[in-house]
Amino acid sequence: MDQQIKQVLIRIAQGKEPAQLVLKNVGIVNVFTESIEVGDVAISHGYIAGIGNYQGERELDLTGKFLSPGFIDTHAHFESSMVSPNLLAGQIVPWGTTTLVADPHEIVNVLGLAGVEYLLQETEGIPLNVYVMLPSCIPATPFEHNGAQFTAEDMRRVMHHPRVLGLGEMMDYPSVLAGDNQVLEKIELFTGKKTVDGHAPGVYGKQLQAYKLAGIDTDHECANYEEARAKISAGMHVLIREGSAAKNLEGILTGAMKEHANMSMFAFCTDDKHLDHIRRDGHIRWNIKKAISLGMEPAQAICMGSWNAAQIYGLRDLGAIAPGFRADLVVLDDLKEMTVHSVYKDGNLVSEGVRPIVIAGHQVDETLTQTVHVAPVDPKKLQISADRQFPVLQITPHSLLTQKVMTTLPQKEGLFVPQDDYLKLAVVERHHATGNVGVGVIHGVGLKNGAIASTIAHDSHNLIVVGDNDEDMLLAIEELKRCQGGYTVVSGGKVLATLQLPIAGLFTNDAALDVTAKTNEMIDICRKLGVVESVDPFITLSFMALPVIPEIRVTDMGVFDVTSFSFLQ
């Protein structure tokens, strides 16, 4: 805070001069006492000057309403929204989220350091505090080819940026436990200085002790209270996730409240939340509302969605309504339903109601929109020999898990011919036009007479395509090459629909494009082509190349057995 501003605030705090704005007679959520106190909040120059009885140049009577600190999302991947950061901000700010801690490992897997620089530039000056955790695992595994490296040296170039808060989720916990030099070098860059996020599902006992000892501060992968308790007992903060797919809040908080756990060790995050769910339920506001519905006192739930988060990430002037804190505030009509009335950012009214707001973006460098570099695909690369039993990816309904099923494939002249819901699944390297193509067989999708393709394929984001004939698969590949990324559906030699996501092949900055509506339209087309209701044609597909989810995947290097960590011939 500038010293001259501080001097003005000191005078206002003492009542020696009026504030620029006073919110009067409001029920103030005090996160320090976890109580509600009725009074005035004096605001000037973007900061809170005082709480009590104040006069202002402008005064707003909020009798009967409540005032909360702005909500903080402690761990999110903005790419999961498929829109640029400014467009996502326009959706979540009206729901009371004023601060977001982003882990951009999706775009960094494609662009490397340029992806971090893009995010910092795009979020400069918008009415949402966007902080960045530098991705720790780029590439995520050695079993696929991604777009760029992101080394400890790259981190050193940007780690001192004021909006870089630390190291992003350390997913490679086996390397941490093995004491890998490169992994420990990244952790050591931040240890004792900034926060180091973890990612260690199901890690307990002595392995958990070693993981924490290495310098890990948080974890957002706890599935239940037993796991969360083990991690907070080891000194880790647990970020309770409630996103679109993973919903862990009820399982953790029910146990925590029953045991009267130390709630200061918990904060809220979304991890991955899609736009349609944000529009329906809100953002961190939904986590808070759900905690209240489970029996938590509103002030305590709000504390977990604001103050606790700020403490974990060293955000010293955020997360509370108190003198000297930034005036990021949410006006609520009630504390049970968490109905958002309006939102203030740095003391300025930025939204009323929960209607999306328009936040202008920046000019996007052309290199960010030209990332789909696919070498011509020889049709022979899609051929699969059917002269022996072959490992098939068996879809598990309503799950990202697959089963490895060894079976004899339907064939003609010794080559696999898709039929009876046995489909081809191909992953095409799309970053450097290497010509790498991995091909496998998937069962349980239901697609007939067509192909579905996407450049969203976690975590390396190569081009992935599933189909029952080579011609449509090849056309789908060409369509995504033409539009530089996104989703497409092809049938009978025709492109039926395409969602263009040109920035890194992951999202769009086109404010006129309704991504949710277009996606739903394409899902309907996929259903008409036979895709079963238990499979999301795009989300499910996007994880079929991620070689860390059991039991079997396909990468651009071939069919991969996750349980044995080996490629299958």
Distance CA 414, CA 421 (A): 19
What pLDDT does 549 receive?
A: 87
What pLDDT does 65 receive?
A: 98
538 near 523, Cβ under 8 Å?
yes
Distance CA 109, CA 459 (A): 7
Closest CA to 454 of 521, 559, 544, 567: 544
**How distant, in Å, are the alpha carbons of 110, 366, 428, 436 from that of 433?**
13, 18, 9, 8
Q: What pTM value is reported for the model?
A: 0.95
Strands 329-332 and 411-412: unpaired
Mean pLDDT by 10 residues, the chain (569 residues): 94 97 98 97 98 98 98 96 96 98 97 96 96 94 93 95 97 92 96 95 95 97 96 98 90 96 97 93 97 98 98 98 98 97 98 94 91 97 93 90 94 94 98 97 97 96 98 98 98 98 97 95 98 94 91 96 88
For 449, the token pair is: 């007479």
Cis peptide before 459 (omega within 30 of 0): yes
What pLDDT does 569 receive?
A: 66
Coil vs helix vs strand at 455: coil
Distance CA 408, CA 316 (A): 62
Closest CA to 46 of 25, 10, 19: 19
Place of tokens 């890690």: 203
What pLDDT does 1 receive?
A: 85
What pLDDT does 387 receive?
A: 87
* Straight-line distance from the first to the last Cα atom of the chain, in angstroms, rounded to the nearest whole number: 62
Ramachandran angles phi, psi of 20, nearest 5°: -65, -35
Strands 494-500 and 486-491: antiparallel
**How deeply is 362 buried, as exposed, middle or buried, from its count of CB atoms within 10 A (0-12, 13-18, 19+)?**
middle
Strands 463-467 and 451-454: antiparallel
Adjacent-strand bridge partners of 132: 102, 164
For 121, the token pair is: 């530039």
